[in-house]
Amino acid sequence: MNRTQATLADGREIFFYDDVARTRQVHDTRDISRPGGGSELRWDAYLGEWVAVAAARQNRTHKPATNDCPLCPSTEERATEIPQPDYDVVVFENRFPSLAGGPALPPDFAKAAIAAGEDLTTVRHPGAGRCEVVCFTPEHTTSLAQLDVRRLRTVVDAWADRTAALLAMPEVDQVYCFENRGEEIGVTLHHPHGQIYGYPFPTPRTSRMLEQARVTREATGEDLFARTLAAERAAGQRVIADNEHWTAFVPSWARWPVEIHLMPHRSVRTLPELTDDERDAFAALYLDVLQRGDRLFATPLPYISGWQQAPASAEGTDFRLHLQLFSIRRADTKLKYLAGSESGVGVFINDIPPEQMAQRLREAGETR
């Protein structure tokens, strides 16, 4: 791995991941400091979940002009978040984090506080955890789908390296590497980038998956994820593409108009566990899937794509690493809004049968 570590002017860490080995001298000349405010976790007593409150994010950079982009390389005339004239892939601590460090969140902290008689509305903890930004390329007007396989492999290595580093921190329990793409999703910086969140607790979605994996194991003696993958590959009608190490498919219960899961054939729990061959195979298949998505509609696909990884606290349980990509676009001029049923009570209604979407994605690969 070709990595260079440095420190920005306000003390934040930055990591350069290069396609090939190179020497970098990094010096941030800006006179900057970290915004005040921090973050706080507040316990939702109704759902038994943590909510992050991060007031400093209200003033984060919002849709800057191209020549003011903070994620482009620095020039002699303008210093950016990345103090280099060029880069391949770079990761740095978010200047406006949702989770701003602080002491580790003890297991069952909320349960213990409530048992000790604390008011349900005042169960709080400093916003432990870490938030990082991942820039996929120095090119401002491209996208992840337009990169080559070599660069995407470097991105995979960066995700894996940062996952390992964050999971080694006492305040981090689960790592979520993700990309928001498109204004329809809410993106406020157009430069191709993603984020990495190190949560101090297992996230609600992951906790639900772990519970279902436990139920499946107790009822059948089988691994939920292995059983799902085998069923999808046997049925075939929702499989989009595959290779020796991965299968891309639309799950039969897809909630979103476009929803794709990329699952490894070998049971691994986190990104660092992937072999070189598995990383190469993923990069090739993911690039194919992204390009198919951009051919579905009249405009490039807006999406959220993220890695579902096992929390450190879930050791010994059934869980399989997989990537989930989903989009709110359901037609050239129509979006899927999370209205009353979805937002109010959490019951999703999908307007496109998963089998139909899988067929469209297969055909999108044939029209290249």
Q: Are residues 25 and 139 in the same domain?
A: yes
Instruction: Please tell me the distance from the alpha carbon of residue 354 to that of residue 259, in angstroms, as a whole number.
Output: 8
Look at residue 368 in the predicted model and tell me its pLDDT. 59
- 229 in a structural domain: yes
Q: Are residues 230 and 115 in the same domain?
A: no
- 63 in a structural domain: yes
CATH number at residue 265: 3.30.428.10
Q: Are residues 263 and 332 in the same domain?
A: yes
Instruction: Please tell me the distance from the alpha carbon of residue 312 to that of residue 174, in angstroms, as a whole number.
Output: 6
In the numeric block, the tokens 């096992």 are attached to 310
Task: Provide the 8-state DSSP code for 20.
Answer: S
Ramachandran bin of 144, using left for φ above 0, alpha for ψ from -120 to 50, beta for the remaining angles: alpha
Question: 111: Cβ–Cβ under 8 A, 6 or more apart, which residues?
Answer: none
Look at residue 101 in the predicted model and tell me its pLDDT. 80
Alpha helix segments (H runs only) across the chain: 109-115, 149-167, 204-220, 224-235, 276-294, 345, 354-366
Cα–chain center distance at 236: 27
Instruction: Please tell me the distance from the alpha carbon of residue 133 to that of residue 103, in angstroms, as a whole number.
Output: 22
Look at residue 367 in the predicted model and tell me its pLDDT. 62
Over the stretch 318-343, which tens digit does the pLDDT of each residue have? Answer: 999 999 999 999 999 999 999 999 99
Q: Are residues 137 and 23 in the same domain?
A: yes
> Can 193 be counted among the known catalytic residues?
yes
Q: Are residues 212 and 356 in the same domain?
A: yes
The low-confidence residues of the chain, meaning pLDDT below 70, are 59, 367-368
- 176 in a structural domain: no
Written as one string, the DSSP assignment of 199-231 is ESS--HHHHHHHHHHHHHHHHHSS-HHHHHHHH
Domain count, the chain: 2
Q: Are residues 144 and 233 in the same domain?
A: no
Q: Choose, from 125, 191, 193, 261, the residue flagged as catalytic.
A: 193
SS3 assignment, position 344: helix
> Domain range holding 310?
205-366
Beta carbons of 8 and 83 less than 8 angstroms apart: yes
Q: Are residues 121 and 249 in the same domain?
A: no
Over the stretch 3-59, which tens digit does the pLDDT of each residue have? Answer: 999 999 999 999 999 999 999 999 999 999 988 778 999 999 999 999 999 987 776
- 171 in a structural domain: no
- 335 in a structural domain: yes
